[in-house]
Structure 1
Amino acid sequence: MKRLGIFVFYDKYGTVDEYVEYLIAELKKVLNELIIVVNGEVDKEGELILRKYSDQLYIRKNIGLDAGAYADVIVNLLGRDKLTQYDELVLCNDTFYGPFISFAEIFDSMANERCDFWGLDCIKRDFLSYIIMYFCVFRGDLLKSGDLFNYFRDNILFKVNEMADAFALFQVGLYYTLTQSGYKSGVYTYSNGYFSKRSPDICFFKYNLPIWKKKFFVKDNYNEEICHNLLDYLEMGNIYKVNLIQKNVKRIYGIDIAQKEYCGETKLLDQPEVKYSVPQITYDDIDNFVSKNTQLYIYGGGNFARSTAFVFSDKIKNFCGFIVSDEKQSSLTDIWGYPVIKASQVPPNSSIIVALNFEHSVEVLSQLGRDANIFYFWNLD
């Protein structure tokens, strides 16, 4: 077994905190070779830490987010022929704390899983399903055939410029393309649609997700009670050195987490159920609409809209572009070469797929109303 890892590091100030060192040290144990990519800058002390664990350190401009970094390494640094020399390719970034069990245990658990690629968790949303790409493993024929290389070269390199691109091309698009090509996906655990960035305690205690997303500590996600409950459990169980989390959280998010006395029991806290939203339509629903409408716009410029455009790019006979609301301030004039226009500029009687979340779809419904040539992602009755 010859296993290559590509780890992407990004920090606004170029600082390599201890949680990153712990993460790459654990990752290194299951790899034959590790390439560490710095998106942007790293300070001298941090560079020494990264070089300690990497077989090759690649420092690049922060172009294309982590997806662009992976594509740069796969296409320009490795190349197709070298990629075929590995049995497994591991992609991992620094957007989470952990792992809370060893990677060796995780890989042992997945060793007999009959799949071509797998991740730690996934989202199930019909044609918008995907493996969450903070950690993913690709195997065997997927590397040998050149299919993975070709996808990164053709659909990610130079095409990912912002988060919505990464979602559509790197998560949904990659998953869709590979599964449509006959490759089978797998997953270490399924958190049933819960966010690790919103409900890390549910993901860990109930579904055994062995990581904690850093975005939990941004203002709109942070919950002090959940934080202490999970931190205390990790500390008292000698599962993870919580000071690694505390130091990074204080530096990045300005939250000073003081340890509280552990109560001696673990329980899930009562909290609102917050899950990934799941549009109330299927691939077949959209496919049927597309087959009946030749000249078509997609309302939206975010995750759902771009994913829909990618997945149905070979089905839409004449894709006219993306629509944004008149109130939306956007400097975008095009997405992937397709025009972005204001709602007031849409020609009368145009066919439109409204690829927005529920709340924004309700707003659009009040403007466009219902018609046979307008398709909504949600049941808005």
Structure 2
Amino acid sequence: MNRILLYVHYNKSDDLSSHVLYQLEKLSPLFSRILLISNSCLSTEHLKSLRKIGINEVVQRENIGYDFAAWRDGMNYIGFNSLVDYDSVTLMNDTCIGPLWDLKEYFEKFEKQVDIDFWGMTNFRKTKYFKEHLQSYFVSYSRQVVSSKVFQKFWTSIRDYENIRSVIDRYETRFTGILTKSGFKYGVVFNTINEDAGNLIHPDFSYYRPEEILNQQVPFIKVKVFQVNSEQTNYIKSQINNLTDFPMSVLNEQLISNVYCITDATVENKDFISRIKKLVRRIFRK
């Protein structure tokens, strides 16, 4: 299959974490072409690290409009005349850890289904706040979808909103409905529509029910899952270690980054920061 990946490096800083490099290296064999769109300026060292794993196309842009504006700019860079030559166009951002399982079988499964035009990892049921939609951190669109006027009109009309809620309300939660109203059908690795959401404020299984994400073998788990509380972090870490081959060194480094990025932003004493980092590393190695 002739596939292209438009991958958004979402970090506001110039940090390119090992989980991104690992992710791109694992994804690379599945795609004929990968475009990394960075919402921050990457150092020469980071660009060299990307080239070592075969990522040679990088668009660096100002951190405006979040991931939807970044994907728009990526499509403009490629051009719709070229995008429609690919069997599928996959949009992804770096807000998740993985792949926890080999992605090849997921692509093959959905690409064999003639009644599936686009697919993703998890969906979000309709509520009084949101429409039913595929969550945008990973979605793959077939050539039929990408060639359609409705797809191209949507992406060429993306604006640079400064508020993430505006991006979610106007783009993420609406695009699935726009496509399905045009006759396209979607598939999902973990269909949460009829799952018991219990007393969840929002039926976001990717965030509130990470244990179900693993039980359903969704190959990506959101980074924000590890920012809730230490008990959940330790449990999910142990489950990933037991159920998958994902390198714990990569996961631990990401968890450390989540902690000490706060200290870097708020503390000027470099010696103190260094001690904090060493302490955090010892904690996460346990």
TM-score bracket for the superposition, by shorter chain length: 0.7 to 0.9
Q: Is the 8 A contact 1:98 1:210 kept in 2?
A: yes
Which secondary structure does the structure 2 equivalent of 1:14 belong to? Answer: coil
Larger RCO, structure (CA 8 Å, separation 6 or more): 2
State the shift of 1:55 in Å.
Answer: 4.0
TM-score, normalising length from structure 1? 0.62
Per-residue Cα deviation, 1:34-61 (whole angstroms, up to 9, x for no partner): 0011112222322222233324111111
Bigger fraction of residues in helix: 2
2:118 alignment partner in structure 1: 117
Supply the distance in 1 between the matched residues of 2:124 and 2:242 (Cα, whole angstroms).
31
Q: Is the 8 A contact 2:255 2:284 kept in 1?
A: no
1:4 alignment partner in structure 2: 4
Q: Is the 8 A contact 2:4 2:31 kept in 1?
A: yes
2:30 alignment partner in structure 1: 30
Aligned positions of 1:279-290 closer than 5 A: none
Supply the distance in 2 between the matched residues of 1:123 and 1:238 (Cα, whole angstroms).
25
Q: Is the 8 A contact 2:4 2:33 kept in 1?
A: yes
Q: 1:146 to 1:81 in 2, by over 3 A?
A: farther
1:227 alignment partner in structure 2: 233
Q: Does 1:204 align with 2:205?
A: no
Identity %: 23
Q: Is the 8 A contact 1:130 1:171 kept in 2?
A: yes
**Gapped regions of structure 2 (runs ≥ 5):** 196-202, 261-279
Supply the distance in 2 between the matched residues of 1:159 and 1:17 (Cα, whole angstroms).
26
State the shift of 1:159 in Å.
Answer: 4.4
Q: 1:213 to 1:4 in 2, by over 3 A?
A: same
Supply the distance in 2 between the matched residues of 1:55 and 1:145 (Cα, whole angstroms).
29
Q: Is the 8 A contact 2:116 2:185 kept in 1?
A: yes
1:253 alignment partner in structure 2: 259
Supply the distance in 2 between the matched residues of 1:12 and 1:159 (Cα, whole angstroms).
15
Which secondary structure does the structure 2 equivalent of 1:91 belong to? Answer: strand
Larger Rg: 1
2:267 alignment partner in structure 1: none
State the shift of 1:98 in Å.
Answer: 0.7
Amino acid at match of 2:284: A
Which secondary structure does the structure 2 equivalent of 1:173 belong to? Answer: helix
Which secondary structure does the structure 2 equivalent of 1:100 belong to? Answer: coil
State the shift of 1:212 in Å.
Answer: 1.6
State the shift of 1:259 in Å.
Answer: 4.6
Q: Is the 8 A contact 1:16 1:49 kept in 2?
A: no
List, as ranges, runs of 4+ consecutive aligned residues in structure 1 with deviation greater than 6 Å: none
Q: 1:125 to 1:81 in 2, by over 3 A?
A: same
Supply the distance in 1 between the matched residues of 2:243 and 2:51 (Cα, whole angstroms).
31
Superposed CA RMSD in Å reads 2.0
2:163 alignment partner in structure 1: 162
Per-residue Cα deviation, 1:275-328 (whole angstroms, up to 9, x for no partner): xxxxxxxxxxxxxxxxxxxxxxxxxxxxxxxxxxxxxxxxxxxxxxxxxxxxxx
Supply the distance in 2 between the matched residues of 1:109 and 1:210 (Cα, whole angstroms).
14
1:137 alignment partner in structure 2: 140
Q: 1:60 to 1:95 in 2, by over 3 A?
A: same
Supply the distance in 1 between the matched residues of 2:94 and 2:256 (Cα, whole angstroms).
17
Supply the distance in 2 between the matched residues of 1:17 and 1:107 (Cα, whole angstroms).
26
Amino acid at match of 2:212: I
TM-score, normalising length from structure 2? 0.81
**Gapped regions of structure 1 (runs ≥ 5):** 261-381
Amino acid at match of 1:91: L
2:97 alignment partner in structure 1: 97
2:273 alignment partner in structure 1: none
1:239 alignment partner in structure 2: 245
Q: Does 1:180 align with 2:206?
A: no
Which secondary structure does the structure 2 equivalent of 1:54 belong to? Answer: coil
